[in-house]
Chains A and B, each alone.
Chain A
Amino acid sequence: MKLKIAAKNIPLLATISVFVLLFAGSSFFLKGFFSLQVFINLFSENAFLGIAALGMTFVILSGGIDLSVGALIGFSSILLSRLIMDIGIHPVIAFAIVLLSGVILGTGMGCLIHFFNQPPFLITLAGMFLARGLGFVIKMEAMPVRHEFYKQINALSLPLGHTAFIPFTAFIFVILAVITWYISLYAKFGRNIYAMGGSEQSALLMGLPVRRTKIGVYAFSGFCASLAGIVYSLYTFSGNPTAGTTLELDAIAAVVIGGTPLIGGIGSPIGTVVGVLILGVIQTSIMFQGSLSSWWTKIVIGILLLAFILLQNLFQRKL
């Protein structure tokens, strides 16, 4: 029996092999890198980036872009701090308020983009300014969160043997990844996104609900970004209006490295997860190495982006 690989899976396989190579290389050169906990920490440390990137994946698959995710993380995290510490609302209710506000902002942007036929780039840029500005309006400085519930949630972790454990934030990331993967393959919403990203005109002529899908995509991205803000707040025990500055770039980079080109219609959330892990490995190994400075992360990500884009370009020409 011959092993057949569908052409559309090649970019994903390339992404996975780059991840394996990077992880193996780092394990070989850096002492103490090769351990289960380091691997798991890739998920927990990059949980908020990953969650935002999953929302971004759907937006990019639909042929749009969302620049507001980073600012929305900052807004959500500071709103949470304010709600819990100053107003004294229970965190669970605060989470609901934050998620709702993210969905409202996303829906608003989606409506402007769809009904007034505006470029997503500009409208989500305005969304970014609005979310960042509202964050500053709530509070100008970072603010800690001290609440029993936060401690309880962070104590929820699944031990794996004696040496490793899976933190709660990693769980949220993985669960959301599975849900988006399921939506992208089996839900009507997901299939509509692919159809719309391939050709909006055709999707419209086929009678697919373009309006609902388009607005839904941005609402979903807003939901994911505010969830990422909650995870940020849980992870750092604080809120910061400047959190997530330029995170939208990392999210877009993770999506593109994960095999979802910005033209839309091609790619999968699984690729995005691997893309996020690749960014995580680069960051962790530069941290482990010690003498290299943090800006090498950006340069390496840039080089990887270039390599992947050239690779995708090669395959698209063949298809």
Chain B
Amino acid sequence: MKPFRRKIRIPEQLIWPIAALFILLIFNFLFTENFFHIEIRNGKLFGSLIDILDRASPLMLVALGMTLVIATGGIDLSVGAVMAITGTIIAGLLAMPDFSILSWFNLPASFSLALCIALATGIIFGACNGILVSFFNIQAIVATLILMVAGRGIAQLLSNGQIITVQNDTFSFWGNGYFLGFPFTVFIVIIGFAVCWILIRKTALGLFVEASGSNPVASHYSGINIRMVKFMIYGFSGFCAGLAGILVAADIKAADANNAGLYLELDAILATVLGGTALKGGRCFLAGSLIGAVLIQSVTTTILTRGVPVEYTLVVKALVIVMICLLQSAEFRRMIINRFRKTGK
């Protein structure tokens, strides 16, 4: 009898983003000097690849939450605004500047307390989205648009429109610190991904999430509490965005309510879609989203290290998005195949 061997099978949806990332890395290997160069200084790893992982970590965290939201058939536009809010809250609670409303609360400047409050705020805002989507049956894009518009205003209200700078060792460790030679942010992403992956792939929760996205009516009749699932997933997306906001603020040791997380929701959606999770919901590829996020950051880093003028960054990014969208489009692939067949005859 043949021994049972489990094959590692990569889902079809993951092949394209991996291929794109691979092509990009080969391009850099051939044409960009020192791209793969990694050196150890004071027990810390330095190099473009490490830098990409470090820079992409807030996006990866947000993309994790976004993937699950998209899997339920929704979308979360508010993540950028939530990032601005939590970054402002943690910086405000640690620095207690006079101009900020946060200084009215007479709290001790303890990092763990500030962290908990900021994360709780993220979860609460996410849950507000969840209530609108699941209990009021409002279209996700509209429900989260509200917080996208108002959220940045709330962050500016909390910081009084000013940038809050923080001097706190624990805080800056979260943004810039190294652990076992790797940036600390990478470990946060790994922990976040591991928790998500176990919950989604090893428990029934993943089935519930994907079922409520692919056919809500059938899932409802088969006894899945879709409302609760959606509510929780939006709360989780708020948590991820909150954590990402904290990392971004910790990275620059300051909270900028105007620009923190600006347009990051679009990058997160892009990372998710590049990673093989279709916008119509029903399936989720957590690893794919992380690859998508790394892909986006690699494009940016490549553009920067190649010495392409800064003003071309967005143009190149736009072209890359269109190319990857086309690669994933069945219509486009069919068109190309037909073209080849015709010339073959």
Contact of B142 with A130 in the complex, beta carbons under 8 Å: no
Stretch binding the partner chain, chosen from A12-20, A150-158, A294-302: A294-302
Q: Which residues of A contact B146 (CB under 8 A)?
A: 302, 305-306, 309
Stretch binding the partner chain, chosen from B37-45, B166-174, B308-316: B308-316
Provided the pairs A121-B279, A132-B314, A261-B142 are in contact, do residues A298 and B152 lie with their beta carbons within 8 angstroms?
Answer: yes
B315 CB to closest chain A CB, in angstroms? Answer: 4
Contact of B150 with A299 in the complex, beta carbons under 8 Å: yes
Q: Which residues of B contact A127 (CB under 8 A)?
A: 318
Which residue of the partner chain, among A115, A123, A125, contacts B266 with CB atoms under 8 Å?
A125
A34 within 8 A of B: no
Provided the pairs A126-B322, A249-B145 are in contact, do residues A133 and B317 lie with their beta carbons within 8 angstroms?
Answer: yes
Provided the pairs A299-B157, A309-B142 are in contact, do residues A136 and B311 lie with their beta carbons within 8 angstroms?
Answer: yes
Nearest B residue (CB) for A119: B279
Provided the pairs A137-B311, A261-B139 are in contact, do residues A295 and B145 lie with their beta carbons within 8 angstroms?
Answer: no
Nearest B residue (CB) for A71: B314
Stretch binding the partner chain, chosen from B19-27, B28-36, B325-333: B325-333
A201 within 8 A of B: no
A118 within 8 A of B: yes
Provided the pairs A118-B329, A293-B161 are in contact, do residues A129 and B269 lie with their beta carbons within 8 angstroms?
Answer: no
Q: Which residues of B contact A309 (CB under 8 A)?
A: 132, 138, 142-143, 146
CA distance A3 to B326 in the complex (A): 54
Contact of A301 with B150 in the complex, beta carbons under 8 Å: yes
Give the number of chain B interface residues (Cβ < 8 Å): 47
B246 within 8 A of A: no
Nearest B residue (CB) for A241: B311
CB contacts under 8 Å to B, within A50-87, are 65, 67
Contact of B314 with A313 in the complex, beta carbons under 8 Å: no
Which residue of the partner chain, among A112, A249, A296, contacts B149 with CB atoms under 8 Å?
A249
B27 CB to closest chain A CB, in angstroms? Answer: 20
Provided the pairs A112-B322, A132-B314, A134-B315 are in contact, do residues A256 and B145 lie with their beta carbons within 8 angstroms?
Answer: yes
A179 CB to closest chain B CB, in angstroms? Answer: 27
B148 CB to closest chain A CB, in angstroms? Answer: 7
CB contacts under 8 Å to A, within B118-143, are 132, 136-139, 141-143
A140 within 8 A of B: yes
A47 within 8 A of B: no
A310 within 8 A of B: yes
Contact of B318 with A313 in the complex, beta carbons under 8 Å: no
Contact of B314 with A298 in the complex, beta carbons under 8 Å: no
CA distance A268 to B245 in the complex (A): 38
Residues in chain A within 8 A of chain B (CB atoms)? 65, 67, 112, 115-119, 121-123, 125-130, 132-134, 136-137, 140, 246, 249-250, 252-253, 256, 261-263, 293-299, 301-303, 305-306, 309-310, 313
Give the top 10 A-B pairs by smallest Cβ distance, nearest first: A302-B150, A133-B314, A298-B153, A133-B315, A130-B318, A295-B156, A136-B311, A129-B318, A126-B321, A299-B153
Beyond known contacts A121-B269, A295-B157: 19 more, CB 8 A cutoff: A116-B325, A122-B269, A122-B273, A122-B279, A125-B270, A126-B318, A126-B322, A128-B266, A129-B321, A136-B312, A137-B312, A249-B149, A253-B149, A256-B142, A296-B153, A296-B157, A298-B150, A302-B149, A309-B132
Chain A to chain B contacts (Cβ below 8 Å), 6 pairs: A116-B332, A126-B325, A293-B157, A293-B160, A294-B161, A298-B150
